[in-house]
Amino acid sequence: MNYALVTGGSRGIGRAVCVKLAAMGYTVLVNYQSNQEEAEKTLHLIREQGGDGELLPFDVSKQEEVEAAIQEWNDRNPGKYIRVLVNNAGIRKDALLMWMKNEEWNEVINTNLNSFLYVTRFLIKDMLLNRFGRIINVVSLSGLKGLPGQANYSAAKAGVIGATKAMAQEVAKKNVTVNAVAPGFIRTDMTKDLDEAQLKAMIPMNRFGTPEEVAEAVGFLASEKASYITGTVINVNGGLYT
């Protein structure tokens, strides 16, 4: 049985990724922080299509919680390991930098950037020992071009992009790939406060994307077919920034 862990898997892009990986034959560990009801819905969607998974709650921004939860899973599943990791959990706390509070900066950095370290570092050893692993980081258009009002979010996502490229070179010889997917404007809870009618005029495809379109790119990078692709960022943005 092959296992995949998706952080922030209860809604939006994370949910679509969980469903996609389950369709590829993975048993999916659906991580979430507090919204168990939505996480249960994700698990229901996975099982509805004949897949399987389990819920794995922890706060990605807290090292102790991350390591305790994954260690407990390891203890329950001796001889098994998580082959695919999708670092997807993220939050936004938008404000102009001149008015941004320390906690708005720190919470976004902790959840979107430091979590990459806590989760990936704990799982990478097993991937290297087993000589197979797929790490896919969900970043953002904001981390590539920067978006006003998102200095914290842009800094965090740009940091993950840099870490993706660096780590890819560290583990490539062991058949472990590390890539990123950078969504543009995708119709999710995180973008529901944005003016879609106004913003889509900037997008060559003239529409927001769907979580499923992002999940297809993640699924490809998680597959055997992407075995010679590492250290790269795939843009899923309708041509907005390419």
Residue 214 CA to residue 220 CA, distance in Å, equals 10
Catalytic residue among 118, 153, 228, 241: 153
Task: State yes or no: is 153 an active-site residue.
Answer: yes
> How far is residue 138 from each of residues 6, 101, 113, 181, 236, measured CA to CA in Å?
10, 25, 11, 5, 11
Q: How far apart are CA 207 and CA 86, in angstroms?
A: 26
Selection from 19, 7, 68 nearest residue 44 by Cα: 19
In whole angstroms, give the CA distance from residue 70 to residue 96: 36
Strand order in the sheet with 82-87: 53-57, 27-32, 3-6, 82-87, 133-138, 176-183, 233-236
* Interacting residues of 219 by C-beta distance below 8 A, sequence separation 6+: 17, 20, 21, 23, 24
- For residues 129-149, b (16+ Cβ closer than 10 Å) or e, as one string? eeebbbbbbbbbbbbbeeeee
Which residues are annotated as catalytic? 153
